Amino acid sequence: MSNKVMDKIGEVFAAARNVLVLTHISPDGDAFGSMTAVGSVMRALGKNVTLVVEDGMNDEFAYLPLADKVKKRLPYDGDYDLLIAVDCGDEERMGEPYLEVQDRPIIVNIDHHITNTGFGRFNLVPSSTSSACEVLYTLFDHLNYEISQDVAISLLTGIVTDTLCFRTSSVKPETLSIASALIKAGADLPSIVSRALVVKPFASLKIWREGLNKMKLEAGVAWTTLSFKDLDKPSFDGGSNAGLASMFSNVKEAACGAVLREKEDGRVVVSLRSRPPFSVAEVAVELGGGGHAQASGCALDLPLEEAEFEVVRRLKASVAAQKAALLKK
Amino acid sequence: MSNKVMDKIGEVFAAARNVLVLTHISPDGDAFGSMTAVGSVMRALGKNVTLVVEDGMNDEFAYLPLADKVKKRLPYDGDYDLLIAVDCGDEERMGEPYLEVQDRPIIVNIDHHITNTGFGRFNLVPSSTSSACEVLYTLFDHLNYEISQDVAISLLTGIVTDTLCFRTSSVKPETLSIASALIKAGADLPSIVSRALVVKPFASLKIWREGLNKMKLEAGVAWTTLSFKDLDKPSFDGGSNAGLASMFSNVKEAACGAVLREKEDGRVVVSLRSRPPFSVAEVAVELGGGGHAQASGCALDLPLEEAEFEVVRRLKASVAAQKAALLKK
């Protein structure tokens, strides 16, 4: 990370009075964690700070310091002299609240997505970093800001959720050193992991039950389908979907997993997961979707059975081709 | 950890020629990891080293350096001048191979169990440490031994498996700093997590399916029963049992989870798990078993239905009492 950029951001922070912090819509732990961490730091620096995200705070993360200060709309127009965007790849992803901002303030863009458009006046976006929270730690450390217990809890939440508790390939030695420092600063790792990552409503287990009852394993592909009527309630969340697909991709006899879920409008949402060295990104792209090598997805305008046939056919062919390529190596 | 003890162990290591390494029966990732780590270090020091565990190497951990050197029996009698016992609470837990050892060699006992009996001539047993592998790292570091890539892979395996990838309350800031150093030394964390902790045979998912189909949730207790005929194969492993009980204890509406599994001989094995601040240890002890606050178990000589009634009744009462006590605080 560029020390020059970090120094410049430090100057901008020091000069600001009214600070607005925004993050992306459909916020996750890294979005909420980086937002509340920045909020705590700005408060400690004596700034007026406003935290806004269109979807509002999520119950799961209600333990975060300043969680009760997160608003769904801008409480007042204009008068912000600094906008800090965290964990947000582009301006559109900030949703409505961004459109409400008047008198364009200085934008500091702090993120870790490789697709970040660099929309800020100052951009701190090291894409090889595990999480926006890890970027923030490095920034705060460079600027000699105190990492209070509140800041530590927020930052560790983002790191833990974006790395699935240190299991993704984005985890570097520094990630663990930073986590170690955050625990020393007062963050309780087991409690954060439990609340942010592990605890699930009973309804999720019911959905997993449906998924397991229909699971199939053929030619290195483990998958299931969930028809709209299978689901207990229409508010089925994508997290359960992805969790089930991950579980399938971790089946020893499989290289990848898929969950096909029929939505109320008849479209089929497909979650794909694979275990390294296998990738599901190519199949997702072929089907008009996208994502990462080990986690991607798409949405299909097909009846569930046809979608299943199409997805499974392509996954089997892809696994076979990847296995052949690996054998040649 | 006492520097004096570590220095003394260093002297004993330096003087040894023929080294035998033993660990506990029913070995887990920490047992295998600490055994192979010690093996690699002893080899680097130019010793003859023999690794033995009654149950032999487990497929899951076949990626460990020296995995192919782990034997089920002592290849020859006597002539060992040093026995290093790793991750082993007492002499009995070493099983048959220990009984075969002739000409009593010096015993160095390296472990982290609070119940360790201190059976060695030299004992390094800091019970607040996450894993035997973490103890070994501190020892090797103190003695200025090189942490080769092989040693790093073995040690990180033990830390990751005993902490469920850094999620247990035994994880301290040092645990993460050590993990960071091991990654720097060449251990691939995502690959180790995947192989040692996450990948499961398809048969486990079938058992989970049975368990989820019979799951119940009442008064803060989520549980299921598995009758002998439910199980695909008699070789059902305890890991799936515990995994399912953990899943139940992570249900938002529950404080604890239980899995009751009927064995071929009619006895019922009970796995209990809870989410802090709740404990299941008291109920396990009441029923003649034992364990830790958040992970314990027992075996009952009752028909499955009676066992279910008894366990669930006690768990409900215990959760209610614990909730009442928490409210008073």
ipTM of the modeled complex:
0.80
The answer to whether the CB atoms of B171 and A189 lie below 8 A apart is yes
Q: What is the pLDDT of residue B204?
A: 87
Q: What is the pLDDT of residue A168?
A: 81
Distance set, CA B109 to CA A67, B57, B85 (Å): 48, 21, 5
Chain B: closest CA distance from residue A58 (Å): 15
Asked if the C-beta of A222 comes within 8 angstroms of chain B's C-beta atoms, the answer is: yes
Residue of chain B minimizing CA distance to A167: B190
Task: Give the whole-angstrom CA distance, residue A223 versus residue B60.
Answer: 23
Q: What is the pLDDT of residue B26?
A: 84
> Which stretches within chain A are classed as H helix?
3-15, 29-44, 96-100, 132-142, 149-162, 173-184, 189-193, 202-213, 238-249, 281-286, 304-328
Q: CB-based contacts of A229: which residues, under 8 Å, 6+ apart? A: none
- Cβ-nearest to B193 among A167, A189, A209: A167
Whether the bond between A277 and the residue before it is cis, its omega within 30 degrees of 0, is yes
Token readout for B313 is 């009744």
Kindly tell me the burial class for residue B71, based on how many C-beta atoms sit within 10 Å of its own C-beta (0-12, 13-18, 19 or more).
Answer: middle
Helix axes A173-184, B173-184, angle to 10 degrees: 170
| Fold category of B3-198 in CATH | inorganic pyrophosphatase (n-terminal core) (3.90.1640)
**Segments making up each domain of chain A, as ranges:** 3-198, 202-328
Residue of chain A minimizing CA distance to B166: A165
Q: What is the pLDDT of residue A276?
A: 82
Q: What is the pLDDT of residue A214?
A: 95
Its sign, for the CA torsion B275, B276, B281, B282, is negative
Q: Can you say how many angstroms the Cα of residue B313 is from the centroid of all Cα atoms in its chain?
A: 29
Q: Phi, psi (5° rounding) for residue A118?
A: 65, 45
Q: What is the pLDDT of residue A204?
A: 87
Q: What is the pLDDT of residue A289?
A: 86
Q: What is the pLDDT of residue A233?
A: 56
Distance set, CA A319 to CA A275, A329, B24 (Å): 11, 16, 39
The answer to whether the CB atoms of B167 and A212 lie below 8 A apart is no
pLDDT at position B42 over 70: yes
pLDDT at position B265 over 80: yes
The answer to whether the CB atoms of B209 and A213 lie below 8 A apart is yes
The answer to whether the CB atoms of A184 and B173 lie below 8 A apart is yes
Q: What is the pLDDT of residue A239?
A: 56
The answer to whether the CB atoms of A209 and B215 lie below 8 A apart is yes
The answer to whether the CB atoms of B167 and A190 lie below 8 A apart is yes
Task: Give the whole-angstrom CA distance, residue A11 versus residue A15.
Answer: 6
Count CB pairs under 8 A between chains A and B: 126
| Mean pLDDT of the region B55-77 | 92
Residues on chain A touching B219 (C-beta within 8 angstroms): none
Q: CB-based contacts of A328: which residues, under 8 Å, 6+ apart? A: none
Decide if A207 contacts A236 (C-beta within 8 A). Answer: yes
Q: Phi, psi (5° rounding) for residue A133?
A: -65, -35
Decide if B107 contacts B149 (C-beta within 8 A). Answer: no
Q: What is the pLDDT of residue A198?
A: 86
Going by C-alpha positions, the residue among B120, B155, B131 that lies closest to residue B12 is B120
Distance set, CA B190 to CA A171, A183, B29, B170, B281 (Å): 8, 21, 15, 21, 33
pLDDT at position B239 over 70: no
Token readout for B178 is 């050590």
For chain B, give the mean pLDDT.
92
The two domains B3-198 and B202-328 share their CATH topology (first three levels equal)? no
**DSSP per-residue string spanning A108-176:** EEE---TT----SSEEE--TTSS-HHHHHHHHHHHTT----HHHHHHHHHHHHHHTTTTTSTT--HHHH
How long is chain B?
Answer: 329
Please name the residue that has the structure tokens 């420092």.
A181
Most confident of B161-170, B291-300, B310-319: B310-319
CB contact residues (below 8 A), chain B span 143-202, against chain A: 165-169, 171-177, 179-181, 183-184, 189-191, 193-194, 198-202
- Cβ-nearest to B189 among A166, A177, A200: A166
Percent of chain B with pLDDT over 90: 72
Task: Give the whole-angstrom CA distance, residue A184 versus residue A95.
Answer: 36
Spans of chain A below 70 pLDDT: 77-78, 232-240
CB contact residues (below 8 A), chain B span 67-86, against chain A: none
pLDDT in tens, B130-149: 999 999 999 999 999 999 99
Asked if the C-beta of A252 comes within 8 angstroms of chain B's C-beta atoms, the answer is: yes
- Cβ-nearest to B190 among A168, A194, A215: A168
| Fold category of A202-328 in CATH | Diaminopimelate Epimerase; Chain A, domain 1 (3.10.310)
Residues on chain B touching A200 (C-beta within 8 angstroms): 250-252
Residues A101-139: b if buried by 16+ CB within 10 A, e if exposed: beeebebbbbbbbeebbebbebbbbeeebbbbbbbbbbb
Going by C-alpha positions, the residue among B151, B170, B164, B325 that lies closest to residue B255 is B325
pLDDT at position B240 over 80: no
The answer to whether the CB atoms of B173 and A167 lie below 8 A apart is no
pLDDT in tens, A50-78: 999 998 998 889 999 999 999 999 987 66
Chain A: closest CA distance from residue B174 (Å): 7
Chain A: closest CA distance from residue B281 (Å): 19
Kindly tell me the burial class for residue A329, based on how many C-beta atoms sit within 10 Å of its own C-beta (0-12, 13-18, 19 or more).
Answer: exposed
pLDDT at position B90 over 60: yes
Residues on chain A touching B169 (C-beta within 8 angstroms): 190
pLDDT at position B78 over 80: no
- Mutation for testing the A interface, residue in B60, B166, B224 having most A CBs under 10 Å: B166
| Mean pLDDT of the region B141-158 | 98
Residues on chain A touching B253 (C-beta within 8 angstroms): 201-202
Task: Give the whole-angstrom CA distance, residue A289 versus residue A287.
Answer: 6
Q: Residue B322: pLDDT band by 50, 70, 90 thresholds?
A: very high
Residues B226-257: b if buried by 16+ CB within 10 A, e if exposed: beeebbeeeebeeebbbbbbbbbbbbeebbbb
Residue of chain A minimizing CA distance to B186: A173
The answer to whether the CB atoms of A189 and B167 lie below 8 A apart is yes
